[in-house]
Amino acid sequence: MLRVRCQASATLDDKGRLMLPGPIRREVERAGGALVFTFCRGALWGWSRADFEAIEARALPTDPLDVNGMAFAHAFLAPAQDVDMDAQGRIRIPPTLRELAGLERDIMVNGLLNRVELWDRARWEEHFKASLDRLGALPGVPGWGGA
């Protein structure tokens, strides 16, 4: 399981490679040197292979005739790809995933909970502002407004 708290700006090179920030790189090495990325909610989310296999295991009992279950399988599981980290600590983001997430050059890398998220930097800034606004409107969240 990836357990790292980190946020850093990064840049995709012309070959679609991204240098992972040091804290994330060390966690990926500890987890076997690879991540499984898929598209989710406007960004790429990456897990250790073991964590992603646990997600897949939860989906295994899905009835293939269940429309919602198959929508999850097609939209979330189908685009998933294994991504190995090279000796320099870089990962190459497959073109299909770059296109889905709109990743071109400037990237925001977030290590949170049990995953890594890769966002187009401009999209991240919009998402982060909306998240702050949503959190500020929640009642009972100390220090964030509300009640």
CB 94 within 8 A of CB 6: no
Half-sphere exposure of residue 115, counting CA atoms within 13 Å on the CB side?
A: 17
C-alpha to C-alpha distances, 115 to 99, 137, 138, nearest whole angstrom: 20, 26, 25
**Measured distance CA(52)–CA(58) in Å, rounded:** 10
Q: What residues contact residue 115 under an 8 Å CB cut-off, 6+ apart?
A: 2, 45, 46, 47, 51
Of 72, 121, 118, nearest to 94 by C-alpha is: 118
pLDDT at 64: 87
Backbone torsions φ then ψ of 50, nearest 5 degrees: -60, -45
pLDDT at 145 over 60: no
Fold topology of 6-120: Chemotaxis protein chec (3.40.1550)
Spell out where 21-65 has E strands. 34-40, 43-47
Q: How confident is the model at residue 141 (pLDDT cuts 50, 70, 90)?
A: low
Task: Read off the pLDDT of residues 14-68 as tens digits, 9 standing for 90 and up.
Answer: 999 999 999 999 999 999 999 999 999 999 999 999 999 999 999 888 888 999 9
Nearest to 6 by CA among 31, 23, 28: 23
